[in-house]
């Protein structure tokens, strides 16, 4: 066992089921272990490395900013935060941005914004928040309370009150619980951690209408789907259903920690000074990296190439389905998953690691694919060929 693994086991809390490998370097779509062995990465840090590992533009921007100013705090202004906020606003909802450090924090801000909005227009009774079963919104207490997965919630009860859960893609179930006491509906356009389950376009349209009728905010959690992962900058752009608030994180900083809560102009000033904060949120270094990320993602033909490569990966996975090796293929762009006929996903992921391929399973039956958006078709083919061999065996 590596000395580093031993060190983790002795000194780091055991909150993760880590794979038995120590990575010391990353470049593009590859990670390298202590012995210098290269691993083809189809997890991308759970979609934080959308531009691949150590992208030159991100490294250059972060290094240059670190040499000038690393951080002060949010009692003052710095240039990168304003520039990144302007980019995000102009590319999405047209309003203002709150910066934090993670997706859970971005969702915490959205939850507080929704509660404050509800109190402003309907008093204390307008506080209920509806989320979807099988969704995932983070592990802080409010974000966990929004995460309708009982096995994740059970050890930490009592949860934050005021949340209610309904099945995804069931508009009648949603209509049954939304009334004047609801201040927000929060959902993922594609349920990522839950197994890559897209919501139907008709459902999104109907939920948008329902939220409007009851003066409730519609909040889209784009922490995993956002920033090019689905072939568009944001997953909601496929349907054209615009939220009132959107949350981002993961890939926004090119693997540096940053979260963002973006609102439309109508809801941008709901929170006033002193109501919310984040000491490190919007620091100059991750914001400088974020500017570099956005510039790369919005370059000519980049997102088109993501969709092309996503279609290619999906076509190969569909062939596995036709051969009976997988039972379902789901997702969009380079955010895909397959269900297996047998509960062997964890074993396949372990076998992949032995073959220097990094995969991820969301359950014993589901393997998720989140490669860097700069992945090449030859890499895609190699991973699917491994999967075909492993499943055949």
pLDDT in tens, 308-319: 999 999 999 999
Does the pLDDT value for residue 193 go beyond 90?
yes
Does the pLDDT value for residue 1 go beyond 90?
no
Choosing from 221, 309, 369, 386, the catalytic residue is 221
Position 390 scores a pLDDT of 97
Does the pLDDT value for residue 55 go beyond 90?
yes
Q: Do 312 and 380 form a contact (C-beta atoms < 8 A)? A: yes
Instruction: Write out pLDDT tens, residues 258-292.
Output: 999 999 999 999 999 999 999 999 999 999 999 99
Position 169 scores a pLDDT of 98
Instruction: Write out pLDDT tens, residues 319-349.
Output: 999 999 999 999 999 999 999 999 999 999 9
Does the pLDDT value for residue 151 go beyond 90?
yes
Choosing from 96, 126, 232, 250, the catalytic residue is 250
CA 164 to CA 388: how far, in whole Å? Answer: 41
Residues 222-246 as b or e (16 or more Cβ within 10 Å = b) = bbbbbbbbbbbbbbbbbbebbbbbb
Position 14 scores a pLDDT of 96
Q: Take residue 246 and report the two structure tokens written for it.
A: 């959107």
Residues 130-146 as b or e (16 or more Cβ within 10 Å = b) = bbbebbbbbebebbbbb
Fold of 57-297: 3.40.640
pTM attached to this predicted model: 0.96
Distances (CA, A) of 125 to 116, 117, 180, 305: 11, 12, 9, 48
**Dihedral, 195, 201, 202, 205 alpha carbons, nearest 10:** 110
Q: Say whether 321 is catalytic.
A: no
Q: Say whether 156 is catalytic.
A: no
Q: Say whether 250 is catalytic.
A: yes
Can you tell me which residue has the tokens 């691993």?
39
The ranges assigned to domains in the chain are 57-297
Distances (CA, A) of 34 to 63, 123, 138: 25, 58, 31
Which residues fall within 8 angstroms of residue 126, CB to CB, at 6 or more apart?
118, 119, 180, 181, 182, 183
Average pLDDT over the chain reads 97
């Amino acid at each position: 066992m590596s000395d580093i693994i031993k060190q983790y086991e002795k000194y780091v809390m055991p909150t993760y089921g880590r794979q038995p490998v120590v990575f010391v370097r990353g470049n593009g779509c590859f990670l390298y272990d202590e012995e210098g062995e290269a691993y083809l990465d189809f997890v991308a840090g759970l979609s934080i490395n959308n531009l691949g590992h150590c992208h030159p533009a991100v490294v250059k921007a972060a290094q240059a900013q670190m040499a000038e100013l690393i951080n002060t705090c949010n009692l003052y202004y710095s240039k990168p935060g304003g520039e990144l906020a302007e980019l995000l606003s102009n590319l999405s909802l047209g309003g203002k941005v709150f910066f934090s450090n993670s997706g859970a924090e971005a969702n915490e801000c959205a939850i507080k914004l929704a509660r404050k909005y509800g109190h402003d227009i309907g008093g204390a009774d307008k506080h209920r928040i509806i989320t979807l079963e099988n969704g995932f919104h983070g592990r802080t207490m409010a974000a966990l309370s929004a995460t309708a997965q009982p096995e994740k919630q059970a050890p930490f009860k009592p949860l934050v009150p005021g949340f209610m859960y309904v099945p995804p893609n069931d508009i009648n179930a949603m209509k049954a619980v939304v009334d004047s006491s609801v201040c927000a509906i929060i959902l993922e356009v594609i349920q990522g951690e839950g197994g890559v389950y897209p919501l139907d376009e008709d459902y999104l349209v109907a939920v948008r209408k329902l939220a409007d009728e009851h003066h409730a905010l519609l909040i889209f959690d784009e922490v995993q789907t956002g920033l090019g992962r689905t072939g568009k900058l944001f997953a909601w752009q496929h349907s054209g259903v615009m939220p009132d608030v959107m949350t981002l994180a993961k890939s926004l900083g090119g693997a540096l920690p940053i979260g963002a809560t973006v609102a439309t102009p109508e809801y941008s000033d709901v929170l006033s000074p002193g109501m919310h904060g984040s000491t490190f949120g919007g620091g100059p270094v991750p914001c400088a990296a974020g500017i570099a990320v956005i510039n790369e993602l919005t370059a000519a033909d980049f997102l088109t190439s993501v969709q092309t490569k996503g279609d290619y990966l999906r076509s190969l996975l569909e062939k596995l389905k036709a051969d009976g090796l997988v039972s379902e293929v789901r997702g969009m762009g380079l955010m895909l998953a397959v269900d297996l006929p047998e509960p062997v996903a964890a074993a396949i992921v372990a076998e992949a690691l032995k073959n220097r391929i990094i995969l991820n399973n969301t359950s014993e039956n589901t393997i998720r694919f989140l490669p860097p958006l700069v992945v090449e078709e030859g890499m895609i083919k190699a991973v699917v060929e491994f999967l075909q061999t492993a499943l055949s065996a």
